[in-house]
Every structure is written in structure tokens, then in C-alpha cells.
Amino acid sequence: MARTTHSSSHDVRLEWPDGRTRTIDVREDQTVLEAATCADIALPFGCRIGACATCTGRLLEVDEPDAPDGDDDRGAVDVEDAFEYRQQPRALKDRHRDDGYVLLCLASPRVDCRIAVGSSVHTELVDNPWK
């Protein structure tokens, strides 16, 4: 007899700097990058093991349905509560995670949320000394 597994999913709205947006349904056992690929959405990626940071997104807002009306914390960016990682995101420093950056190749959402995506998000992580 086949065993059926049930998994929760969350709406993740992807937002590019040029104004494009797409909302995808991401299962909790799936990474954002995997769900985007299944939806034929091209996101930048490199290693898929959290070492290169090419897939970096920035959490913009979370939707917490249990937050009471008028709660000032509604929509606050807390990346540690919003995502679970399959393995340690080695390419991000603590300060990057504190600022809401997330590696989409390893991260699975735990809430509905909005994420800034695209290659420009990766360039926000490191200052270019040659410019």
C-alpha cells in the first residue's frame, strides 16, 4: 500500500527589482528554488549547497495569520522564524541573516512571505572594492 505524506505549503511572493512579481506555492519539504524551478521561474543559483550565495534572496515581509489586529510586529522581518534550512547556510554571515538575507537553494518557508530576488540581491552582500 502506497504511503501518502501530507505537507503544509506557503505562498511565497517573489519580487524582482524591475517590478515583476510572481507568487508560488512552496511546500515545507521543498526549497524556494525547487518550487520556483517547478513553476518555470528562473532564479539565479550556483552550488545548491549553500556555499556560493548566488541564490540569495532578501526577506521583505512575513504574513503571520495568528498575529492580532493592530499588532505592530505584523509583517516584521525575522528570517530565522520564516525559514528552515536543510543544512547550515555557510555563505551567509550572522549579520546577513540578521538583515533578512536567505539562501533560496536551502531554505523552506514556514510562513507566507515576500522575498526580493534576482542577481542584484547577491551583490548587496559584499561591497565591491574595485568600483
Question: Which tens digits make up the pLDDT trace of 79-125?
Answer: 889 999 999 899 999 999 999 999 999 999 999 999 999 989 988 88
Instruction: Tell me how far apart the alpha carbons of residues 23 and 39 are, in angstroms, rounded to a whole number.
Output: 10
Give this prediction's pTM.
0.84
Task: Give the residue among 4, 23, 25 at the shortest CA–CA distance from 13.
Answer: 23
β-bridge mates for residue 56, sequence order = 103
At 59-68, the pLDDT tens digits run 999 986 665 5
Task: Give the residue among 106, 59, 105 at the shortest CA–CA distance from 82.
Answer: 59
Cα dihedral 38/91/75/71 (nearest 10): 140
